Amino acid sequence: MGFPAQQQEVPGVQSAMDPVPDCGEESYRGSGRLTGKRAVITGGDSGIGRAVAIAYAREGADVLISYLEEDGDAEEVARLVQKEGRTCILMRGDLAEPAHCRDVITRAATEFGGIDVLVSNAAFQMSHDSLDEISDEEWDYTFRLNVGAYFHLVKAAVPRMPSGGAIIGSSSVNSDMPSPQLAPYAATKAAIANFSASLAQLLGEKGIRVNSVAPGPIWTPLIPATMPPEKVESFGSDTPLGRAGQPAELAPVYVLLASDEGSYISGARVAVTGGRPVL
């Protein structure tokens, strides 16, 4: 199933997409698997982060959502979380700045009394046909946000996390099957998978589990905001399942990795790719 050709300015707004992604607003049903947990979710205003925030709230968690500037999308997520009787803190700002990463963690730990789950999901990508199109600034920013923020968030969060805590990084199928048009993004996603595997070994003695999720093509605002309209039309059609995934189809994996049911899952990378292999 394809999508109508469309284009947005970066970073993209979910409410302006056609069709609007399914983040589980009407479909996700919780069962108390995260009752009492305190979670930080970056990029939680839209796409995968939004789906994770909704699922976590319906599973009983309070959440802090970090987002760049998409106030309308973020406020809608807050309403959905609060509808479940859970607390939702919104923090606007650029996670490419290390100080903001530390501020996010400090606020969550202060207001929640600690952090049980960190989902590092915010990311930047752009599509280019040649290296000449990639500016030095774009290359540096992609790594500062996608990889640097993960490092700074984890470093600040670990002292505030109890044994039993969980860290989840959002990698990508691009980490193993890099799209040449997404070279900087793909390189960062490989780094996230690798860093997550290192963290799992470093933090195991603290009882903190670390895993990554490797999504395939998922219908999020990044797509119309960073790809030409003709690629948007066919986005995801080359997967074995013949379509792009919806953010709601990622949420159950993030729930499992955050829950006590995943107590012996650490160092894993879970592929949710519509059939594309991840090595």
pLDDT one-digit tens code per residue, 232-261: 988 989 999 999 999 999 999 999 999 999
Q: In 3D, which of 96, 48, 279, 34 has the Cα closest to residue 177? A: 279
The mean pLDDT value for 119-148 works out to: 96
pLDDT class for 25, splitting at 50, 70, 90?
A: very high
CATH architecture of 32-272: 3-Layer(aba) Sandwich (3.40)
The pLDDT-based confidence of 171 (bands split at 50, 70, 90) is very high
The C-alpha atoms of residue 239 and residue 173 are separated, in whole angstroms, by 11
Residue 140 is predicted with a pLDDT of 98
Active site residue 185: yes
The percentage of the chain sitting over the pLDDT mark of 90, rounded to a whole number, equals 84
Q: Are strands 88-92 and 209-215 parallel, antiparallel or unpaired?
A: unpaired
Q: Is 233 helix (H, G, I), strand (E, B) or coil?
A: helix
Instruction: Tell me the mean pLDDT in the region 48-57.
Output: 97
What's the Cα-to-Cα distance from 262 to each of 168, 191, 271, rounded to whole Å?
12, 23, 16
For residue 166, the number of C-alpha atoms closer than 13 Å in the C-beta half-sphere is: 26
User: pLDDT of 100-116, one tens digit each?
Assistant: 999 999 999 999 999 99
Give Cβ neighbours of residue 101 (< 8 Å, ≥ 6 apart): 95, 149, 152, 153, 156
Across residues 2-8, what is the average pLDDT?
A: 87
Q: Are 13 and 243 in contact (CB under 8 A)?
A: no
Give the whole-angstrom CA distance, residue 273 versus residue 258: 20
Supply angle C-alpha 34, 22, 5, rounded to 5.
Answer: 150
Overall average pLDDT of the 195-224 stretch = 95
Q: How confident is the model at residue 226 (pLDDT cuts 50, 70, 90)?
A: confident
Domain boundaries in the chain? 32-272
How wide is the angle at C-alpha 167 spanned by C-alphas 20 and 83, nearest 5°? 45
Look at the block and give the residue holding tokens 């979710």.
41
**CA 193 from centroid of its chain's CA atoms:** 13
Q: Determine contact, residues 273/173, Cβ cutoff 8 Å.
A: yes
Q: How far is CA 267 from CA 19, 127, 166, 243, in A?
A: 35, 30, 11, 29
Q: Which of 28, 67, 185, 254 is catalytic?
A: 185
Confidence band, pLDDT 50/70/90 cuts, at residue 1: low
State the average pLDDT for the chain: 95
Q: Residue 278: what pLDDT?
A: 84
DSSP 217: S
How far is the C-alpha of 187 from the C-alpha of 235, rounded, in Å?
A: 20
Q: What percent of the chain has pLDDT over 70?
A: 100
What's residue 221's pLDDT?
Answer: 84
Of the pLDDT bands very low, low, confident and very high (cuts 50, 70, 90), residue 95 is very high
